[in-house]
Structure 1
Amino acid sequence: MTFIYVSGSGTDSTESGRTIWARVKGRTENELLRLPFKAAYMFRSGLIIPANSVKSKTKLYQLMYDVMKPLNSLLKRFGSVITSEQLGRAMVRVGKDGYSRSIIESSDLKKIGK
């Protein structure tokens, strides 16, 4: 079985960084990579922008998306921003075909998910 974990940009694999969320995600990644999966991939996405006018059920998230919408085209040019559609395509491709590295950063996810 292939396992894909959507982690996050800034995750700390050393588990010794300053922020607890980065350490926890790093520890989770490390533990998953030790398990006997056929393959395991850690997707370190940054900001995920909903594609195709999908609305969040979480009101605060939707408010954030609405406020940021005018900046979306600018944000997408940066490596740490990906659409939900790109992320989904990257998950399917990596799950099906594999990838050369276990930890995949957002800029690579964008390329895979094109």
Structure 2
Amino acid sequence: MKVLLFGASGMVGSGVLRECLLAPDVERVVSVGRSALPLNNPRLVQSIRPNFATNTSAITDDDLRDMDACFFCLGVSVAGLSEEEYAALTFSLTMAVAERLVSLSPQATFVYVSGAGADSSERGSSMWARVRGKTENALLRLPFKRVHVLRPAVIQPLNNAVSKTDSYRAFYKILRPLLTVGRKLFPSQVLSTEVIGQTMLQIARHGAPVSVLKSAEIYEVSLKDGKNSLLR
């Protein structure tokens, strides 16, 4: 399986990358990012495109061609952004990539990391939720082999995965013990970066019963490979 990954330097994306490189059926991971990752692996191809967020033409056709799956883990904090700015970095960027990808790899499975509370109606009062919902809806209309949306709520970073947002890093550091306990007691509600990565891989292999997966569905799909446990 050939996987295209966006957002590998972020908390979720780095966890997804780790699971991809551990999976024996993943032949190659192409990571598109603005800077190099501090990681060497024979199955990892780093496509460094410093300006791709504002100029998606910097992403070459070779980056997108013949992929079996795309795991789209890019995300920005809404804090301090106008709706236009947030939409440019969320809706416009995602769709520009996805629309090119579907023309070059229509057989691919596209998995998009959204968030709990995304607004599929696109009419709610929450700006970020409307934009996320609009992005989800547009992706689900594209003619990929499969499109699935993940809407996790609480995620615990494992294996040195770190958020790029200062406030989130502080949050995870302070609440790490509580998150660990919560994940053991309520594993279908408090997910981990491992679970997210395992779920994406299972969706790429076999699909999922629903197009939009909330926390409980994400956890259930992750169990299908037999790796996940309450201790992870």
TM-score (norm 1): 0.89
CA distance 1:22–1:56, change in 2 (3 Å): closer
How far apart, CA to CA, are the structure 2 residues paired with 1:52 and 1:81?
Answer: 16
Matched, 1:107 2:216: yes
* CA offset digits 1:17-51 (Å, max 9, x no partner): 11011110100000001111111000011122101
How far apart, CA to CA, are the structure 2 residues paired with 1:16 and 1:80?
Answer: 26
CA distance 1:51–1:19, change in 2 (3 Å): same
Matched, 1:20 2:117: no
CA distance 1:12–1:55, change in 2 (3 Å): closer
| Alignment RMSD (CA, Å) | 1.7
Contact 2:153 2:215 (C-alpha < 8 Å) held by counterparts: yes
Among 62, 66, 80, the alignment partner of 2:173 is 66
Matched, 1:45 2:152: yes
Contact 2:119 2:132 (C-alpha < 8 Å) held by counterparts: yes
* Number of the residue aligned with 2:196: 87
| Equivalent residue letter for 1:89 | Q
Deviation at 1:16, TM superposition (A): 1.0
* Number of the residue aligned with 1:7: 114
| Equivalent residue letter for 2:145 | K
* CA offset digits 1:40-97 (Å, max 9, x no partner): 0000111221013434454432221111112113432164421000000000001111
Classify the secondary structure of the residue corresponding to 1:66: helix
CA distance 1:50–1:59, change in 2 (3 Å): same
Task: Give the gaps of 5 or more residues in structure 2.
Answer: 1-107, 223-227
| Equivalent residue letter for 1:91 | M
Task: Give the gaps of 5 or more residues in structure 1.
Answer: none
Aligned sequence identity (%): 39
CA distance 1:111–1:63, change in 2 (3 Å): same
How many equivalent pairs are there? Answer: 114
Segments of 4+ moved more than 4 angstroms = none
How far apart, CA to CA, are the structure 1 residues paired with 2:123 and 2:192?
Answer: 30
How far apart, CA to CA, are the structure 2 residues paired with 1:23 and 1:55?
Answer: 27
CA distance 1:10–1:78, change in 2 (3 Å): farther
Instruction: Select the structure of larger CA radius of gyration.
Output: 2
| Equivalent residue letter for 2:144 | F
Q: Which has the higher contact order (CA 8 A, sep 6+)?
A: 1
Contact 1:9 1:80 (C-alpha < 8 Å) held by counterparts: no
